[in-house]
């Protein structure tokens, strides 16, 4: 499970303790907290970071009924230690080329950098990990033509297509609270526990809807948890996972179909065809189509992690082939992937284009909180 940190937060006696917090302990009432949003993934859980003497001490849940409710995953809760790292730059500066010492600091560094780029052609590479404000300001500084979002080509085109799908599809884009209400779920090619842990928790909740349905028929209240679990035993709402690898939701899946990425896309298309009453000889797809058709509140999930446009398109085809309004959720890789795609409206100048310019008519390149080594082969970024 990815949520044991929640136990620490709700423990009234102190039996469960938070090791990272204890290591640099502060009294809880001495912490200064402010409302914020987790940047650990694209879900956007609401958090309350607590600070003391300029150091981030802990992250607590901030209740938002439609998003995280009472739960934060451990990546969000415990994954911010880097904020206090001594290696992290928390001021402006200019390093000497031959060593890691800073030659210029603070205001002087800002003025020096401004003088360097004044009157020159400057290109900028943004980042889906940086704030939208920082990306926007960089784009304003260098001009839209010389700004690239900082995605790789393939990632940029996938994310741009997801942005477009979400604007045009007739399926609804559900909140996490709405996903908890799904009574049949199809996941196409996404290990959702890795890409959106809080969504995975909602799906674990959703598969219990069958138990709540049985309980209602027997006149049991949902809060009588032990009785509801005893009644349902192993009966769960259907969760069908079609994936190229094992996922951490497999233990609650009603059906697990293992396929290569191209075949996952074909499987989705076959399900959509079966839903539309077209011929298909894929018996598993026909069976899945029937489960989705019989459900009152079906949910289709896919995402960008396979970098496969066909998989995403097939999930949209399934959601749109269902006769009723269907929930469609597409997972994205980083906190601001979608926002940045919307900002540049389709990916912006492609990285290769900006990098080629950098080697030629561009005389300076500004990179915003982006690790280019993660996004392109060395051959691409060495031309800078």
State in angstroms the smallest separation of the CB of 199 from ligand SF4. 7
Nearer to ligand SF4, 131 or 169 (CB): 131
Determine, following the binding rule CB under 6 A, whether residue 176 of this chain makes contact with ligand SF4. no
Determine, following the binding rule CB under 6 A, whether residue 75 of this chain makes contact with ligand SF4. yes
Q: By rule CB under 6 A, what count of residues binds ligand SF4?
A: 14
Pairing of strands 298-303, 327-331: parallel
Provide the β-strand partners of residue 147.
Answer: 124
Determine, following the binding rule CB under 6 A, whether residue 44 of this chain makes contact with ligand SF4. yes
Among the listed ranges 48-56, 66-74, 276-284, 357-365, the one in contact with ligand SF4 (CB under 6 A) is 66-74
How far apart (Å, rounded) are the C-alpha atoms in residues 137 and 121? 16
Nearer to ligand SF4, 110 or 132 (CB): 132
Nearer to ligand SF4, 8 or 41 (CB): 41
Cα Dmax for the chain: 76
Nearer to ligand SF4, 72 or 211 (CB): 72
**List of residues 6+ apart from 187 with CB closer than 8 A:** 203, 239, 240, 241, 242, 243, 247, 249, 301, 302
Determine, following the binding rule CB under 6 A, whether residue 139 of this chain makes contact with ligand SF4. no
Determine, following the binding rule CB under 6 A, whether residue 62 of this chain makes contact with ligand SF4. no
Rule CB under 6 A: choose which of 43, 149, 171, 184 binds ligand SF4: 43
Nearer to ligand SF4, 252 or 364 (CB): 252
Alpha carbon 239 to chain centroid distance?
Answer: 20
| C-beta neighbour count of 62 within 10 angstroms | 19
Among the listed ranges 89-97, 102-110, 159-167, 190-198, the one in contact with ligand SF4 (CB under 6 A) is 190-198
Using CB positions, name the residue nearest to ligand SF4. 76
Nearer to ligand SF4, 197 or 351 (CB): 197
How far apart (Å, rounded) are the C-alpha atoms in residues 179 and 185? 9
Provide the β-strand partners of residue 301.
Answer: 187, 329
Determine, following the binding rule CB under 6 A, whether residue 73 of this chain makes contact with ligand SF4. yes
Q: Where are the beta strands (DSSP E) in 181-334?
A: 184-188, 239-243, 255-258, 298-303, 327-331
Backbone angles phi, psi at 119, to 5 degrees: 75, 0
Among the listed ranges 13-21, 71-79, 262-270, 339-347, the one in contact with ligand SF4 (CB under 6 A) is 71-79
3-state class (DSSP) for residue 115:
helix
How far apart (Å, rounded) are the C-alpha atoms in residues 241 and 210? 18
Residues 13 to 42 in contact with ligand SF4, rule: CB under 6 A: 38, 40-41
Determine, following the binding rule CB under 6 A, whether residue 76 of this chain makes contact with ligand SF4. yes
Burial class (CB in 10 A: 0-12, 13-18, 19+), 13: exposed
State in angstroms the smallest separation of the CB of 332 from ligand SF4. 11
Determine, following the binding rule CB under 6 A, whether residue 238 of this chain makes contact with ligand SF4. no
State in angstroms the smallest separation of the CB of 196 from ligand SF4. 6
How far apart (Å, rounded) are the C-alpha atoms in residues 345 and 371? 22
State in angstroms the smallest separation of the CB of 334 from ligand SF4. 10
Nearer to ligand SF4, 247 or 273 (CB): 247
Nearer to ligand SF4, 73 or 291 (CB): 73
DSSP notation for 148-208: E-S--HHHHHHHHHHHHHHHH-SSB---HHHHTT-SEEEEES--HHHH-HHHHHHHHHHTT
Q: How many CA atoms lie within 13 A of 158 on its CB side?
A: 21
State in angstroms the smallest separation of the CB of 79 from ligand SF4. 7
How far apart (Å, rounded) are the C-alpha atoms in residues 17 and 261? 42
Determine, following the binding rule CB under 6 A, whether residue 197 of this chain makes contact with ligand SF4. yes
Nearer to ligand SF4, 45 or 319 (CB): 45
| Residues near ligand SF4, by CB under 6 A | 38, 40-41, 43-45, 68, 72-73, 75-76, 196-198
């Amino acid at each position: 499970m990815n949520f044991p940190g929640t136990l620490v937060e709700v423990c009234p006696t102190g039996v469960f303790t938070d090791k990272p917090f204890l290591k640099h302990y502060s009294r809880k009432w001495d912490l200064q907290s402010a409302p914020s949003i987790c940047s650990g993934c694209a879900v956007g859980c609401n958090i309350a970071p607590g600070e003391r003497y300029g150091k981030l001490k802990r992250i607590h849940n901030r209740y938002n009924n439609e998003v995280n409710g009472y739960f934060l995953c451990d990546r969000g809760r415990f994954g911010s230690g880097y904020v206090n790292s001594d290696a992290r730059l928390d001021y402006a500066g200019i390093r000497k080329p031959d060593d890691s010492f800073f030659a210029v600091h603070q205001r002087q560094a800002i003025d020096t950098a401004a003088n360097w780029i004044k009157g020159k052609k400057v290109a900028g590479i943004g980042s889906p990990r940086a704030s939208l404000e920082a990306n926007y300001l960089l784009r304003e500084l260098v001009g839209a033509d010389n700004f690239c979002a900082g995605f790789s080509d393939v990632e940029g085109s996938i994310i741009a297509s997801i942005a477009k799908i979400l604007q045009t599809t007739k399926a609804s884009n559900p909140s996490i609270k709405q996903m908890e209400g799904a009574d049949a779920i199809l996941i196409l090619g996404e290990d959702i526990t890795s890409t959106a842990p809080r969504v995975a928790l909602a799906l674990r909740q959703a598969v219990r809807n069958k138990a709540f349905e049985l309980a209602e028929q027997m006149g049991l209240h949902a809060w009588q948890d032990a009785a509801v679990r005893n009644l349902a035993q192993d009966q769960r709402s259907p969760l069908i996972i079609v994936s190229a690898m094992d996922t951490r939701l497999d233990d609650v899946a009603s059906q697990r179909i293992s396929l290569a990425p191209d075949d996952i896309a074909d499987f989705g298309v076959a399900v959509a065809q079966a839903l539309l009453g077209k011929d298909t000889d894929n018996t598993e797809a026909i069976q899945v189509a029937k489960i989705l058709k019989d459900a009152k509140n079906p949910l289709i999930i896919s995402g960008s992690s396979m970098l496969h446009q066909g998989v995403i398109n097939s999930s949209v085809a399934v959601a749109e082939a269902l006769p009723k309004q269907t929930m469609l959720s597409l997972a994205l890789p980083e906190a601001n992937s979608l926002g940045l795609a919307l900002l540049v409206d389709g990916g912006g100048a492609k990285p290769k284009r900006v990098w080629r310019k950098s080697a030629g008519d561009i005389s300076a390149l500004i990179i915003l909180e982006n690790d280019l080594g993660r996004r392109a082969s060395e051959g691409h970024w060495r031309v800078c």
